[in-house]
Amino acid sequence: MAKYRKLSRTSSQRKALLRNQVTGLIYHGRIRTTEAKAKEIQKIAEGLIALAIKERDNYETVTVQAKVPLKDKDGKRVKEVVDGKKVTKFDTVDKEIKKDKPSRLHARRQMLKVLYPVTEVPAENAGKKRNTKKVDLVAKLFDEIAPKYENRKGGYTRIVKIGERKGDAAMEVLIELV
């Protein structure tokens, strides 16, 4: 018996399809697809969630000093003249950051191998680059999804059959995070 379904695609197409669908599942929480694809997606997604649960609290908090530009009441940077040039004034601020331990860093990189980068575009600026922001799905896995499932032994996703698709009668399902 085979280890995985080929889904009538070449290996590169199959990997891209599965990465895209797993990214969609983690980002949206549920997706609609065929039964065979859903079973393959389920394997990958549950592995990522299990990895996130295992490495969830494996970091240390470090205080660092960061230079932040001073801003005036309008939100523009404050400039001063030094040797005939305008230079931005900076203020030093203490910030607390999470520093991953080596095993969590490795887990983060393993997740990044599977997940595609997601850019969120506001509805009013559709088709424009302004105000777009990148969504950190790895942080979402560690901070939102892993705490939700920390007391669960497995079975983080659910497949619900919807019915047959009209065009080719393929069984359609809804795969969602439990």
What is the rounded distance in angstroms from the CA atom of residue 162 to the CA atom of residue 35?
Answer: 10
Q: What is the pLDDT of residue 129?
A: 74
d(CA 125, CA 140): 24
What pLDDT is recorded for position 73? Answer: 85
Q: What is the per-residue pLDDT for 121?
A: 83
pLDDT tens-place string over residues 54-78: 999 999 999 999 999 988 888 888 8
Q: What's the confidence (pLDDT) of residue 1? A: 60
Domains plus CATH for the chain?
Answer: 11-57+102-177 (3.90.1030.10), 59-100 (no CATH)
Q: What is the DSSP string of 32-46?
A: EEEHHHHHHHHHHHH
Pairwise CA distance, residues 172 & 164, whole Å: 6
pLDDT attached to residue 15: 96
**Residues of the chain predicted below pLDDT 70:** 1, 126
pTM: predicted TM-score of the whole model, two decimal places = 0.83
Residue 67, pLDDT score: 92
C-alpha dist (Å) from residue 56 to 97, 110, 113, 119: 15, 14, 18, 24
